[in-house]
Chains A and B, each alone.
Chain A
Amino acid sequence: MSMQNEKLVIILSLCFIFCVPLSHAQVKKPKRRALAVIVNVTNPIKGLTSTQLRKTMTLSVQFWKNKKRIVLLQRPRKSPETRLLLKRVYKMSDRKLKKFWVSQLFNGRIPGIPSTIRSTTRTIHAVKKSANAVSVVFADEATSDVRILRIDGKLPGEKGYPLILEPSK
Chain B
Amino acid sequence: MRRMWTLNLPTWNHVYWVTALVCALGAIASAQVTPTSNATFEERIAQLESANRALLRRVSELESHDRSKDNLDDLVGDIIDDLLEDRTASASGVVSRYSSVAITFQYYGSVGFQVGDPPPTNGGDSLFRFESIDLFVTAKLSPRLQILSETILEGDGNEVILDQERIFGVYQFAPEFYVKLGIEHSPISHWNRIYHHGTWLYVSVERPTIGSFEDGGGILPSHFAGLEIGGKFDLSVGEIRYTAIVSNGRGPVPTNRQVISDDNNAKALDLALEFAPSSAENLSIGAAFRYDLLPPDGSDPARTKSILEWIASGFVDWRPGDFQLIAEVVVVDHDDRLSGQQFRHISGYLQVAYSIGELTPYVRFDFKRMEQGDPYFLPQNSDLDRWEQIIGVRWDFEDNAALKFEIAFGDEELRHNSGRISTDGFVVFRFNFSWYF
Residues of A within 8 A of B (CB): 3, 6-7, 9-10, 13-14, 16-17, 20, 24, 51, 55, 60-63, 67-69, 71, 73-74, 76-78, 91-92, 95-96, 98-99, 101-103, 105-108, 111-119, 121-122, 125-126, 129-133
Given contact pairs A6-B20, A105-B104, A71 touches B72 in the complex (Cβ within 8 A): yes
Inter-chain contact A74/B89, CB cutoff 8 Å = yes
Q: Is the interface of B mostly helix, strand, loop or mixed?
A: mixed
Inter-chain contact B56/A67, CB cutoff 8 Å = no
Inter-chain contact B90/A10, CB cutoff 8 Å = no
Inter-chain contact B71/A20, CB cutoff 8 Å = no
Report 13 cross-chain contacts, Cβ distance below 8 Å, ordered by A residue: A10-B16, A55-B234, A61-B175, A67-B174, A95-B396, A98-B91, A105-B106, A108-B148, A111-B139, A113-B95, A126-B75, A129-B71, A130-B71
Inter-chain contact A6/B72, CB cutoff 8 Å = no
15 A-B pairs besides A13-B23, A69-B143, A117-B82 with CB distance below 8 A are A9-B16, A9-B20, A10-B16, A13-B26, A13-B27, A20-B30, A61-B175, A62-B175, A76-B89, A92-B321, A99-B201, A101-B92, A113-B91, A126-B75, A129-B75
Inter-chain contact A107/B196, CB cutoff 8 Å = yes
Q: Among B16, B31, B436, point to the contact of A7 (Cβ < 8 A).
A: B16
B125: Cβ under 8 A from any A Cβ: no
Given contact pairs A103-B201, A115-B79, A130-B75, A108 touches B170 in the complex (Cβ within 8 A): yes
CB distance from A125 to the nearest CB of B (A): 7
Contact with A along B171-212 (1 / 0, CB 8 A): 010110000000000000000011010100100000000000
Inter-chain contact B23/A74, CB cutoff 8 Å = no
B159: Cβ under 8 A from any A Cβ: no
Inter-chain contact A116/B75, CB cutoff 8 Å = no
Q: Among B78, B138, B170, point to the contact of A122 (Cβ < 8 A).
A: B78
Name the CB-closest residue of A to B60: A125
Return chain B residues, CB-CB under 8 Å to A73. 79
Return chain A residues, CB-CB under 8 Å to B239. 60
CB distance from B398 to the nearest CB of A (A): 10
